[in-house]
Structure 1
Amino acid sequence: MMTSDIAKDRTTHLLKKKGSVSSLSSHEFRRKEPHGRPKDSVSTVSYMDEPSQREDASRLIVQMENTYQLGPTKHFPVVIVDHILKDVLTNYLQEERYEPEFCKQMTKTISEVIKAQVKDLMIPRYKLIVVVHIGQLNSQSLLIASRCLWDPKNDNFSSYLFRNSSLFALANVYSVYLE
């Protein structure tokens, strides 16, 4: 017996033990590998024991559920987000003075912190947009506006304005429901 025949016999024996039947027989199908050597082809078929009556009964009972929802099951909590905005802006900017480079970095940091805290509320199916403006408070007037196309029944926003002696900060969180 050649080495490859012994390996085939072992493979056949192992496959039969595991519940598979091999197609190895005296009529083996051989094909050429790219290097010119013949390659043996082995195909296996797996089988399963007969199902019990208990499994048949459980398979017959199928519960269907309508998963289509009209609108959100949990709405955006404006009051909670207002408190988050107030806490974050107050904690980060209470004692700070206006410096352009510092404020540029703080807008990024504060917006990321706000977004993380609002995401922790686990509000399903809402896309969050957080915008933070920080500017110098110096007897000037400034108008900040935003426009959004949304569904007023499902979408909402939260906004908070913070001021100290040197700067102002405006944080907005927009929540848009995704269907």
Structure 2
Amino acid sequence: MEGQLSTDNLKAHNAHLKESTVQADVTAGATSSTKSSNKMSLLSNKLSLKDRLTVGGNSMDDKKSDGGSGSKLSSSMNRTRFSRLRTKLKMQSLFGASLSKAGSEVGHKSVRPLENTYKLEPEEGTQFSITNAEKIITNVFEAYLKGRQYDAKKFRLLSKSLADMIKERVKQSGIHRYKIVATVLIVEDCGQSVRLGSRCLWDTAYDNHATVVFKGDGFEAVGSVFATFFA
């Protein structure tokens, strides 16, 4: 009986040891799983934070780059608007009148391609007229130079504007297929002598020019128009 009891006690002791080892393994596995889950949660938190910073498109670098590009674009647009406004104000100060949008958009008309006409001479009534060109130059000078005093800074810009105006008015006077070149020279009258000369290589039958001299208050203006037939 004592041998059986000792044997039974040994079996019970061994079973108790096995149960304790199994429980220890289970607890170790649980702790390792909890550690691994904690690591995974930390990694997920880090990844989510990184995603929020970079993948979502709200990173500091993107904001800086977007802000830099936006600031450059806005500054370039402001410079363009400022230059246009400055040019408009200069024209208003020179001519003393406001410029309309319709007049500024005249030069943006679409160009329509045309077939060759093979015409070697202008049609009747569309030739360049010296008399009409002289009238145009005289009217422009009297409208914008009469009663003015010589000003080197203003007249430097005004001479270019008057030349463009004379050229456009001559083009709209009824001539066709002519290349027009207009020049305006304004010099201060200090009692000196001024001589101007020009040479042209053209067809004397259809090409010609017109020149007008205007005497103002302390200055003289010379306007010339050269017209060559474009065959």
Q: How many residues get paired?
A: 113
**Matches for 1:10-21 after TM superposition, within 5 Å:** none
- Structure-2 residue corresponding to 1:129: 181
Alignment of 1:85-164 (within 5 A): 85-164=137-216
1:168 offset after TM fit, Å?
A: 0.3
1:139-160 C-alpha deviation (Å, 9 max, x unpaired) = 0011111111111111011110
Query: Structure 1 or 2: larger helix share?
Result: 2
RMSD over aligned Cα, in angstroms? 1.1
Q: Is the aligned partner of 1:68 residue 2:118?
A: yes
Structure-2 separation of matches of 1:70 and 1:178: 8
Higher strand share: 1
TM superposition shift of 1:174 = 0.3
- Cα displacement string for residues 75-113 of structure 1 (whole angstroms, at most 9, x for unaligned residues): 101111111100101111111111111110110110111
Q: SS at the partner of 1:145?
A: coil
Q: TM-score, normalised by structure 1?
A: 0.60
Paired residue for 2:226, among 170, 174, 179?
A: 174
For the 8 Å contact 2:128–2:227, the answer to whether it is kept is: yes
Identity %: 30
Per the alignment, residue 108 of structure 2 pairs with none
| Runs of 4 or more above 2 Å deviation | 67-70
Distance 1:69 1:108 in 2: 33
- Gap runs ≥5 in structure 1: 1-66
Paired residue type of 1:72: P
Cα deviation 1:4-53 (Å, max 9, x = unaligned): xxxxxxxxxxxxxxxxxxxxxxxxxxxxxxxxxxxxxxxxxxxxxxxxxx
Cα deviation, residue 122, structure 1: 3.4
Residue identity matched to 2:131: V
